[in-house]
């Protein structure tokens, strides 16, 4: 999942000598980024039944499999919503216009996949509730995140992106996403018959209120 998610907001590096033509750094094309998003949604963010073999769990541990899945999902989500990736998506759009996979498109795709139950009124299972809360937590982090400095590259082996969080588009998009989720959650509560799902959505709405209007 780490390899796939790194393509979102990713940049290819082509090592060249001075006499070779073409760019050294090229943004990953939009279609490939969209395909990577679809893969992560299907294989990890939708409850990964292929990982949930209770016969194996029953032989190796007495508890912890829910937390293990939550941790993998959250780590991948936070990577996709890292400051550097989001800044590179903004930069890609500035450089390539409609040919780019934009920050707004990425956040739309992410939200629609993570919160797909809101449109259908389906029961939200334990794994999905955890993932949805992780999404809200990450948006809350983006609302207050400090500026990110460029790190030492250790001779080119590590790449990082400097981000002025308060003056970039990141916080604006995060605020918009919180408002959209809040609206969709509010509309979905009445269509949700499962009690735990309803409690979850009521809790999410209050969490978002607190993030947008801290006391």
- pTM beyond 0.75: yes
In the structure encoding, which two tokens stand for residue 215, read together?
Answer: 């006391």
Contact 73, 143 (CB under 8 A): no
* Residue 130 contacts residue 66 (beta carbons within 8 Å): yes
For residue 157, name the pLDDT band (cuts at 50, 70, 90). low
Q: CA-to-CA distance for 128 and 79, rounded, in angstroms?
A: 18
Mean pLDDT of 165-172: 93
pLDDT value at position 154?
62
Higher local confidence (pLDDT), 37 or 15: 37
Distance from C-alpha of 156 to C-alpha of 139, rounded to nearest angstrom: 31
> 147 in helix, strand or coil?
coil
* Mean pLDDT for the chain overall: 92
Taking 80 as the threshold, does the pLDDT of residue 130 lie above it? Answer: yes
Give per-residue burial for 47-86: e unless 16+ CB within 10 Å, then b. beeeeeeeeeeeeeeeeebeeebbeebbebbebbbbbbbb
Q: Which pLDDT score, from 0 to 100, does residue 37 have?
A: 98
């Amino acid at each position: 999942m780490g390899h796939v998610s790194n393509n979102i907001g990713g940049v290819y590096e082509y090592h060249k000598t001075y006499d070779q033509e073409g760019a050294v750094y090229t943004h990953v094309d939009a279609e490939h980024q969209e395909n990577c998003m679809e893969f992560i949604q299907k294989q990890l963010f939708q409850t990964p039944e292929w990982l949930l073999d209770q016969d194996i769990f029953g032989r190796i541990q007495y508890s912890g499999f829910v937390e293990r899945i939550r941790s993998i999902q959250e780590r991948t989500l936070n990577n996709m919503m890292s400051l550097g990736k989001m800044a590179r998506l903004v930069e890609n759009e500035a450089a390539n216009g409609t040919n780019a996979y934009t920050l707004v498109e990425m956040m739309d795709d992410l939200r629609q996949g993570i919160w797909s139950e809101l449109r259908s009124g389906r029961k939200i299972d334990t794994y999905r509730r955890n993932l949805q809360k992780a999404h809200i937590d990450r948006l809350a982090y983006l609302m207050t995140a400090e500026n990110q400095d460029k790190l030492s590259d250790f001779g080119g082996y590590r790449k990082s992106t400097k981000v002025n969080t308060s003056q970039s588009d990141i916080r604006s998009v995060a605020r918009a996403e919180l408002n959209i989720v809040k609206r969709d959650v509010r509309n979905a509560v009445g269509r949700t018959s499962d009690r735990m799902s309803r409690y979850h959505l009521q809790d999410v709405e209050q969490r978002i209120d607190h993030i947008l209007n801290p006391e």
